[in-house]
Amino acid sequence: MPGDAALEVAIAAKLYGARPVLRDVRFRAGAGEVLALLGASGTGKSTTLRIAMGLDTEFEGHVHRPPGRLGVVFQEPRLLPWLSTADNLRLVADGAPVSDLLAEVGLAGAEAVMPRALSLGMARRAALARALAVRPTVLVLDEPFASLDAQRTAALATLVARQARAQGITVLLATHDLAPALAVADRILVLAGHPATLQADIPRTEYPDAAALRGELLARFPFLESVAEEPA
């Protein structure tokens, strides 16, 4: 049995109808560990996250999540449109300082702003602040930095890693972008193939030089070349 403090995902097989989409995707992460799940668009990253969260139970295998709350950032921000930015956080906050969290994601002074008045990039940052306000045991992030510029992405990725290590949060981050993954992840996981399998699980400690790891990953998986995003 896995330890209570660990997140364990073991997907023997996942099918959509008769079509296999995932096979032999297995990993385990401890408290305070940041895992980056990389793969091309449509590979099955979001499906893996949904299984890890317990939103998809139609698969062969098992998932163990440690006790505590789950924080999630979906690809769409999913802010409640009838609540202000701050009230979206207060709805789930477990004593977390809402104004401080908004300031940390670059939204100081936006407490009273309604979601419809936020740009997509601002809404994504608000969604990240909301997920952190939960004070989660496990934090699941599905392309949370899409539409953000490189500088903002780096700052938010660093914030996530800092919170994870300070509070013992297990983070599972799905992204197509190597830059934030190499900057903050403790392990790099790569999904590839048809059906997708876990073709790499690389501890960051094995590569003190991020450039060397980037070079190896791109040589093995050329589709991981970072895609430029329009800033928001």
Contacts of 178 (CB under 8 A, 6+ apart): 38, 214, 217, 218, 224, 225, 226
Where does the chain hold its CATH 3.40.50.300 domain(s)? 1-68+137-232
Residue 57 DSSP one-character state: -
Say if residue 144 is preceded by a cis peptide, omega within 30 of 0. Answer: no
pTM of structure: 0.92
Rounded to 10 deg, the angle between the 120-133 and 150-167 helix axes is 0
Give the Å distances, CA to CA, from 128 to 31, 77, 98, 121.
19, 8, 12, 11
Mean pLDDT of the chain: 91
Fold exhibited by the domain 1-68+137-232: Rossmann fold (3.40.50)
Q: pLDDT tens digits for 115-171?
A: 999 999 999 999 999 999 999 999 999 999 887 888 999 999 999 999 999 999 999
